[in-house]
Amino acid sequence: MSTQFLSDSFGRVMRDLRVSVTDRCNFRCVYCLPETDQAADFYRSKFDPLKNPAPIKLELPPLQPRSQLLTFEEIERVVRLAVELGVEKVRLTGGEPLLRRNIEVLVAKLAPLQGLKDLAMTSNGFLFQHKAQALRAAGLTRMSFSLDSLDPANFKKMTGRDGLEEVIHSIRLAKQLGMNPVKLNAVVIRGLNDHELVDLVRFAMNEGVQMRFIEFMPLDSNRGWLRDLVVSGREILERLSAHFDLEPSVVTQPSETARRWKVKGTESEIGIIAPVTEPFCGHCNRLRLTVDGKIRTCLFSLGEHDLKGLMRNGADDGTVQTRLRSIVWQKEDRHHIGEIEFKQPERSMSCIGG
């Protein structure tokens, strides 16, 4: 086991840490926290009652009490220790990270860390305009926004909220503030928003931002995921290729989650993230820190490893780093989506952190 870097037993070195700062969210997306009657009706319409006799229940997961959340000082400590062990990229996630009070204070703590090369955030964008200036001044350099639909009615159906105008405004504001690149993430669900693929790419081209399409994953709180609702990465590419002249982008890092293409003759880029049909586990270099201080070695891990208790019981930095190395050494070789033994994690995406 390496004593210098966070290496697992398969030779992968961890360079990327996703940090969840809250399990709260102001959206109710059908693929994460479905709550509305529209979401229930959508899932119900897709289920075969003979194969799936259980009724659709939209139950939101319980929220962690605030006393169980990591403080900014604790998050900074974990990130600093991980960076000392070779982590280079940190992404702040949630829930919705902009719901965490004074989030810009955390950004200001993390941005100066020596060895940290990239500090980004993923957000639904609804509140970004209220924090944008403060986040940029604190040192945030990149933003990714969720944008699953450009149609106001379909946007509401997918997110459970009216908010398309606010999200578009946030995308443009991030560009104005010099955040680069700005990325848009769309989770593609058959029969819901897969007819908007071309429109989303054209929007991204017009705005000068990057578009990412993500396969629908089994991480929703109501466990309504169906394989039939997944639009594969291959199908997404075939549909887009019928409308755009695409050329593959050069892959500089094997650990990249997205396969990327340039729209020929432009600076626009399309990425496809296909963890269901084209897993990239063999090169995975990511860890996740949950808001309550657990390390997850895979998005689909069935177990978690506590750091919060260790830190709150007085462990010194060396002890915490030793624990981190031990956890990473146990990282799974792959997820098991599509295999008979696959089990969905107890926590939904909103509680894990994207």
Q: Residue 301 sits in a domain of what CATH number?
A: 3.20.20.70
Do 89 and 120 touch, CB atoms closer than 8 A?
Answer: yes
Cα–Cα distances in Å, from 275 out to 156, 165, 215? 26, 30, 7
pLDDT at 66: 84
Number of domains into which the chain is organized: 1
Is 233 contained in some domain? no
> Quick one: pLDDT band at residue 276, thresholds 50, 70, 90?
confident
116 three-class SS: coil
**Contact (CB, 8 A) for 2 and 83:** no
**Cα 100 vs. chain centroid, distance in angstroms?**
17
What's residue 345's pLDDT?
Answer: 60
Q: Is the pTM of this model over 0.85?
A: yes
The residue range of the domain holding 342 is 16-183+288-352
Q: What is the mean pLDDT of residues 73-99?
A: 97
**CB distance 311 to 320 below 8 Å:** yes
User: Regarding predicted confidence, which is higher, 286 or 3?
Assistant: 286
In a domain, 10, yes or no: no
Which range, 2-6, 28-32, 174-178, 293-297, is most confident? 174-178
C-alpha span between 177 and 123 (Å, rounded) = 16
Given a cut of 80, whether residue 3 has pLDDT beyond it is: no
Is the pLDDT at 13 greater than 90, yes or no?
A: yes
Query: Residue 96 pLDDT more than 70?
Result: yes
Angle between helices 128-138 and 103-110 (to 10 degrees): 20
Nearest to 303 by CA among 352, 350, 345, 348: 345
Residue 321 CA, distance from chain mean position: 25
pLDDT at 2: 40
The answer to whether residue 264 is domain-embedded is: no
Instruction: Write the pLDDT tens digit of every residue in 331-348.
Output: 887 665 665 666 666 666
Q: What digits encode the pLDDT tens for the residues 305-318?
A: 999 999 999 999 99
At 45, which helix (H) or strand (E)? helix 37-46
| pLDDT above 70 coverage of the chain, percent | 82
Asked if residue 168 belongs to a domain, the reply is: yes
- Mean pLDDT of the region 95-109: 97
pLDDT at 1: 37
What is the chain's Cα-based Rg?
A: 20
CA distance 8 to 163: 42
Residue 95 covered by a domain: yes
**Which stretches of 6-76 are assigned E, i.e. beta strand?**
16-20
Domain contains 122: yes
261 within domain boundaries: no
In a domain, 198, yes or no: no
